[in-house]
């Protein structure tokens, strides 16, 4: 993977979308969303054409129940502009759905998400004769679902009977998300009347809209369905539209309650934002679940909607790890799915989990997410075992984890550091943190099953700790801090950003203990002060790049925006290291941001400083919902209780945040050792187990 000058976002988008027009191949503005890659280090290609402006997402209501999406603006009408429409598997089945009642569009008065897959829009009309005051007397309610259905209901509050014509104008281009993102959606297709509804056909297939009750009139040339309703005073009438590709069955969401691997966790407590955040986040995680097409029993998370509705290995593993308190089923499905993608045979890439490259900002070339995924694989397996993954499933996945660890040791060779995969690549700070954690947790896993290699991994990890403390620390007039990376010539890359938070994420070992980290106690304290300082803590969360650093951009996805995943890791790491003040500040910031976003956290938002009465600025192209953001909420809230299970030893240890920054918090419906688990953290910072598996003992 040879790297020249980092390409621009437009170049990245142009190349990716030209190569990969499906939804699971569409680029978000941070990275190429992965397809099943041929290599973990895919080259950047020159842009084939310049893209149009990426359609904004921050003002949209996005209903998700993958593989279905329903997207619209707050006024409720789907006009065909931007991303609006109904989608299935990355193709827009319907781009336009516009309602008129008595010849007029309703006045939009409210739009609300009712669940991850459902939104409700309310509009009003005044149809009574003039002179009766300004009060509306007809309410138009629309309930839109990601499964391709919409229910339109007219409610009359008039004092006399009303005859109301209802018209729904429909249209589609059958465009892919990739084509829409790149401004190549194409014109609307002509409609034909079919079975009392409308049908459209194109090179990629055909789609129909049916209605119940059937319309009184259907006009193909105008794409129009029309009804006449007689409403008595106080009466109502409804129409249900169904959008479906021809020959396909009704859409059944992967994350339905019967098949979801995620426990129905709930929260209560002093802070009313806590239950709303957990409820919404679990709902979003379920909505983002996908099946492995060849192995439908294995579920994993898509990276996010609308841009990344496919498998992104590093994000899927990271989200499954943070969601372990909801059960180990998601982790198992994700690990099995990715084990089948692992590169086999001889060669330097043998054992890698493939993944595309990710932009790293102006100071470093793009990094390979395959490296991150390969190092996360054994970590997730080891921690899932601690949370209660059955021994049989752990043993089945152990060979794939061993291959990841073999790749690590082979790639490091006789050296100490794990470099970027391309020749002469940089040695990144966070990569060493990932590798160190993988070695220690991997060694623990190998020892547990009597497999060789644990001693060598621990010896290498010890050597890495010694070298890192000498080679990755900067002391200059700006203050001492960890380096972001070492260049091939040994030069330190000094910029300060959120990736240093990974140094605190050391991983869970047995008996409720955490693995040692790369920093000693003195430098851990210094890092805690940096993470809690105004350069990185925006008041809404952790900035991707410090505000005083060259190239800082509050909207830059690696240069200043708040990325929720890294903020959650910082909170958990700071709390575990005993720096509760800094952890609480970041936690409160994310909680305040979540409230501003209706408790549905986007993957990132602007790192502008928080001000009195202000609100976080949304990133116009961020995925929302996003798997890592939704799973981050689970990690943030369970960090308050400090739950550290060891299912093989039948113990669970609690290390709560003693300052109780959110007051009393009660978490129920979690899973530890395969059974329901509930914990209460009181206002004095004391934790108490209220429900647990039989025989599970409280550790010390």
Residue boundaries of the structural domains of the chain: 61-245, 266-698
**Token pair of 610, please?**
């928080």
Cα angle, residue 322 at apex, residues 255 and 604 outer, rounded to 5°: 85
Q: Cβ contacts of residue 130 below 8 Å, gap of 6+?
A: none
What does the pLDDT read at residue 476?
78
Average pLDDT, whole number, for the chain? 90
pLDDT higher than threshold 50 for residue 21: no
What does the pLDDT read at residue 18?
32
CA 481/CA 500 separation, integer angstroms: 9
Q: What is the mean pLDDT of residues 501-526?
A: 97
Q: Which of 44-53, 457-466, 509-518 has the lowest mean pLDDT?
A: 44-53
**pLDDT digits 0-9 by tens, 100-110:** 999 999 999 99
Of 353, 352, 256, nearest in space to 299 by CA = 256
User: What is the CATH code for 266-698?
Assistant: 1.50.10.10
Largest interatomic CA distance in the chain: 88
Q: What is the mean pLDDT of residues 337-354?
A: 95
- What pTM was computed for the model? 0.91
What does the pLDDT read at residue 700?
82
What does the pLDDT read at residue 5?
32
pLDDT higher than threshold 80 for residue 639: yes
Of 571, 11, 65, 527, nearest in space to 291 by CA = 65
Q: What is the mean pLDDT of residues 339-345?
A: 95
Q: Is 568 exposed, middle or buried (0-12, 13-18, 19+ CB in 10 A)?
A: buried
CA 650/CA 63 separation, integer angstroms: 40
CA 582/CA 528 separation, integer angstroms: 7
**pLDDT digits 0-9 by tens, 229-285:** 999 999 999 999 999 999 887 777 787 767 789 999 999 999 999 999 999 999 999
pLDDT band at residue 423 under the 50/70/90 scheme: confident
What does the pLDDT read at residue 131?
53
What does the pLDDT read at residue 353?
97
Query: What φ, ψ does residue 469 adopt, rounded to 5°?
Result: -65, -25
**pLDDT digits 0-9 by tens, 158-180:** 989 999 999 999 999 999 999 99
Percent with pLDDT over 90 in the chain: 83
What does the pLDDT read at residue 132?
66
What does the pLDDT read at residue 297?
93
Q: Cβ contacts of residue 597 below 8 Å, gap of 6+?
A: 605, 616, 618, 624
The 3-state secondary structure of 586-619 reads HHHHHHHHHHHCCCCCCCEECCCCCCCCCCCCEC
Residue 307 region by backbone torsions, left for phi larger than 0, else alpha for psi between -120 and 50, else beta: alpha
Residue 507 region by backbone torsions, left for phi larger than 0, else alpha for psi between -120 and 50, else beta: left
**pLDDT digits 0-9 by tens, 42-77:** 333 333 334 447 789 999 999 999 999 999 999 999
What does the pLDDT read at residue 130?
59
The 3-state secondary structure of 402-418 reads HHHHHHHHHHHCCCCCC
Of 66, 69, 623, nearest in space to 290 by CA = 66
Residue 47 CA to chain centroid, in angstroms? 27
**C-alpha to C-alpha distances, 47 to 15, 29, 44, 55, 366, nearest whole angstrom:** 5, 15, 9, 19, 16
**Token pair of 26, please?**
């569409």
By the 8 A CB rule, do 362 and 297 touch? no
Query: What φ, ψ does residue 478 adopt, rounded to 5°?
Result: -80, -5
Q: Domain 61-245, CATH 1.10.10.10 — does that match?
A: no
pLDDT band at residue 424 under the 50/70/90 scheme: confident
**pLDDT digits 0-9 by tens, 122-151:** 999 998 775 567 899 999 999 999 999 999
């Amino acid at each position: 993977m040879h790297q020249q000058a980092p390409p621009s976002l437009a170049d990245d988008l142009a190349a990716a979308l030209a190569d990969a027009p499906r939804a699971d191949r569409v680029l978000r503005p941070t990275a190429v969303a992965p397809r099943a890659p041929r290599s973990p280090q895919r080259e950047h290609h020159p842009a084939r054409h310049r893209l149009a402006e990426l359609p904004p997402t921050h003002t949209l209501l996005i209903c998700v129940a993958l593989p279905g999406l329903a997207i619209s603006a707050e006024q409720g009408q789907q006009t065909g502009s931007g991303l609006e429409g109904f989608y299935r598997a990355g193709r827009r089945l319907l781009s336009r759905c516009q309602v008129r009642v008595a010849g007029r569009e309703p006045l939009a008065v409210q739009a609300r998400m009712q669940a991850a897959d459902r939104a409700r829009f309310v509009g009003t009309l005044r149809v009574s004769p003039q002179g009766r005051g300004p009060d509306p007397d007809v309410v138009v309610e629309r309930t839109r679902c990601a499964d391709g259905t919409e229910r339109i209901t007219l409610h009359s509050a008039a004092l006399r009977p009303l005859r109301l014509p209802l018209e729904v104008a429909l249209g589609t281009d059958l465009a892919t998300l990739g084509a829409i993102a790149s401004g190549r959606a194409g014109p609307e297709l002509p409609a034909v009347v079919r079975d009392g509804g409308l049908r459209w056909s194109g090179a990629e297939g055909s789609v129909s809209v049916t209605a119940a009750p059937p319309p009184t009139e259907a006009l193909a040339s105008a794409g129009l369905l029309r009804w006449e309703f007689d409403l008595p005073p106080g009466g109502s009438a409804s129409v249900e539209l169904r959008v479906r590709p021809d020959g396909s069955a009704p859409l059944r969401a992967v994350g339905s309650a019967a098949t979801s691997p995620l426990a129905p966790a709930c929260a209560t407590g002093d802070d009313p934002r806590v239950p709303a955040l957990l409820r919404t986040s679990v709902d979003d995680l379920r909505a983002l679940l996908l099946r492995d097409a060849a192995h439908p029993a294995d579920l994993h998370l898509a990276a996010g909607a609308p841009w990344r509705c496919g498998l992104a290995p590093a994000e899927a593993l990271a989200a499954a790890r943070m969601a372990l308190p909801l059960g180990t089923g998601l982790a198992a499905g994700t690990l099995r799915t990715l084990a089948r993608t692992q590169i086999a045979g001889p060669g330097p890439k043998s054992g890698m989990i493939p993944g595309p490259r990710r932009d790293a900002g102006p100071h470093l070339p793009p990094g390979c997410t395959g490296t991150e995924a390969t190092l996360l694989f054994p970590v997730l397996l080891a921690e899932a075992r601690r949370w209660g993954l059955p021994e049989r499933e752990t043993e089945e996945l152990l060979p794939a984890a061993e291959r990841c660890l073999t790749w690590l040791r082979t790639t490091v060779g006789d050296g100490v550091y794990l470099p970027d995969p391309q020749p002469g690549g940089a040695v990144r700070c966070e990569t060493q943190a990932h590798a160190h954690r993988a070695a220690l947790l991997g060694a623990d896993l190998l020892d547990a099953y009597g497999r060789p290699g644990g001693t060598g991994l621990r010896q290498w990890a010890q050597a890495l700790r010694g070298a890192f403390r000498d080679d990755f620390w900067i002391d200059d007039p700006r203050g001492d801090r960890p380096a972001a990376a070492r260049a091939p010539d040994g030069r330190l890359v000094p910029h300060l950003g959120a990736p240093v938070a990974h140094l605190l994420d050391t991983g869970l070992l047995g008996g409720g203990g955490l693995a040692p980290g790369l920093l000693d106690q003195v430098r851990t304290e210094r890092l805690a002060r940096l993470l809690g300082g105004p350069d990185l803590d925006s008041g809404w969360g952790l900035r991707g790049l410090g505000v005083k650093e060259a190239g800082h951009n509050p909207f830059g996805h690696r240069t200043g925006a708040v990325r929720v995943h890294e903020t959650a890791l910082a909170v958990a790491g700071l709390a575990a290291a005993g720096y509760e003040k800094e952890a609480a500040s970041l936690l409160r910031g994310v909680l305040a941001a979540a409230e501003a976003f209706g408790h549905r956290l986007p993957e990132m938002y602007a790192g502008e400083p928080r001000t009195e009465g202000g609100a976080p600025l949304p990133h116009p192209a961020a995925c929302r919902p996003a798997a890592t953001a939704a799973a981050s909420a689970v990690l943030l809230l369970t960090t308050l209780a400090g739950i550290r299970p060891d299912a093989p030893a039948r113990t669970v240890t609690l290390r709560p945040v003693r300052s109780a920054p959110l007051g009393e918090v009660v978490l129920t419906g979690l899973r530890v050792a395969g059974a329901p688990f509930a914990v209460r953290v009181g206002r004095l910072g004391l934790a108490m187990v209220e429900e647990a598996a039989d025989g599970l003992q409280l550790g010390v």
